[in-house]
Amino acid sequence: MDVLEAIKSRRSIRKYLEVPVEWEKVGVVLEAGRLAPSAGNCQEWNFIVVTDQALREQIAEMSAEGLWMATAPVHIVITANIESISRLYGIRGERLYAVQDCAIAASQMMLAAHDQGLGCCWVGAFDEHALARLLSIPDSIRPQVILTLGYPDERPEMPKRKILENLLFLNGYGNRIKDIGFVLMDYNLAGKAAELGKAAAERLARKMKEKREASLSERLRSQKEQLRKKLLKK
């Protein structure tokens, strides 16, 4: 699946089928998280895969309005090693970089799940201390995200998104772009040129195929006529 298409079509899934997820697919999701970039390449994350039903039910109970989570056959708890990132970046590493790094990993994992036909949802509203006790997470390790994973039992519509013109500034905060189409014209032209080039190539390929088929038909007709004349002479 094309990356942009995966981003556009991904949805947060909160209803799951009672179907187990193949470990091969779980492995692909985890690999996507492992390959994420991180501050100073610290890679301070760990991934706790939870499949036990009793544990999943307890995790759901300690999450805000999260009882639906128990229906997901897999939970992936993403944690950050605070001591590890703090040694490199101090308080900024603990309060910002750890969060950012785990968020990047979680985002890549969600796209990998969607690419495999799985549903996924990012959960951040949970009792952190209760979760740490439940999963024996030490004090130096902080839970950041819970991802629910499973085959979706719903197809949500895309929520409304702000248009790019309301989000974009140029060369400084607050500098609105009056004509975003003009600013992005080079990109738009390049994209249109690529589309036109592809269409032209397809048309040329069709014409060449038609020409080859016509030539072949003409040769067959000629051979057939020559054979007919020979038979008449006999």
Looking up residue 46, the CATH number of its domain turns out to be: 3.40.109.10
Hey, what's the torsion of the CAs at 207, 210, 212, 214, to 10 degrees?
A: -140
Q: What is the pLDDT of residue 211?
A: 77
Considering the domain boundaries, does residue 157 fall inside one? no
Q: How far apart are CA 119 and CA 152, in angstroms?
A: 5
Higher pLDDT, residue 178 or 188: 178
Query: 50 with 31: CB under 8 angstroms?
Result: no
Domain range enclosing 211: 182-233
pLDDT reported for residue 27: 98
The answer to the question of residue 57 being in a domain is: yes
Q: Indicate whether 12 and 107 sit together in one domain.
A: yes
Per-residue model confidence (pLDDT) at position 57: 97
186 and 107, same structural domain?
A: no
Q: Is the pLDDT of residue 140 over 60?
A: yes
Domain assignment present for residue 164? The answer is: no
Which tens digits make up the pLDDT trace of 40-68? 999 999 999 999 999 999 999 999 999 99
Residue 85 has pLDDT above 70, yes or no: yes
Summarised one tens digit per residue, pLDDT across range 6-19 is: 999 999 999 999 99
Question: How many structural domains does the chain have?
Answer: 2
Contact of 74 with 26, CB cutoff 8 Å: yes
Residue range 73-80: mean pLDDT, rounded: 98
pLDDT at 192: 58
Residues 96 and 146 both lie in one domain: yes
Q: How confident is the model at residue 197 (pLDDT cuts 50, 70, 90)?
A: low
* In a shared domain, residues 146 and 187: no
In this structure, of 43-57, 137-151, 160-174, the range with the lowest mean pLDDT score is 160-174
Same domain (yes/no): 46, 144: yes
Do 100 and 205 fall within a single domain? no
Res. 198 pLDDT band, cuts 50 70 90: low
Q: Cα(first)–Cα(last) distance of the chain, in Å?
A: 65
125 domain-assigned = yes
Contacts of 98 (CB under 8 A, 6+ apart): 44, 80, 82, 85, 142, 144
- Region 185-209: mean pLDDT is 66
pLDDT digits (tens, 9 = 90+) for 201-230: 778 878 777 777 777 777 777 776 777 676
- Whether 207 and 107 map to the same domain: the answer is no
Q: Are 121 and 14 in contact (CB under 8 A)?
A: yes
Does residue 106 lie within any of the structural domains? yes
Q: Give residue 64's pLDDT.
A: 93
Prediction pTM value:
0.76
Q: What pLDDT score was predicted for residue 63?
A: 96
Instruction: Mark whether 99 and 199 lie in a shared domain.
Output: no
Extended beta strands in the chain, E state = 45-50, 74-81, 119-123, 141-150
Q: Same structural domain for residues 146 and 193?
A: no
pLDDT tens sequence across 90-101: 999 999 999 999
Q: Are residues 64 and 130 in the same domain?
A: yes
Q: What pLDDT, on a 0 to 100 scale, did the predictor assign at position 172?
A: 93
225 against 133, higher pLDDT: 133
Mean of pLDDT over the chain: 89
Task: Check whether residue 221 and residue 138 sit in a common domain.
Answer: no
Predicted local distance difference test score (pLDDT) of residue 206: 80
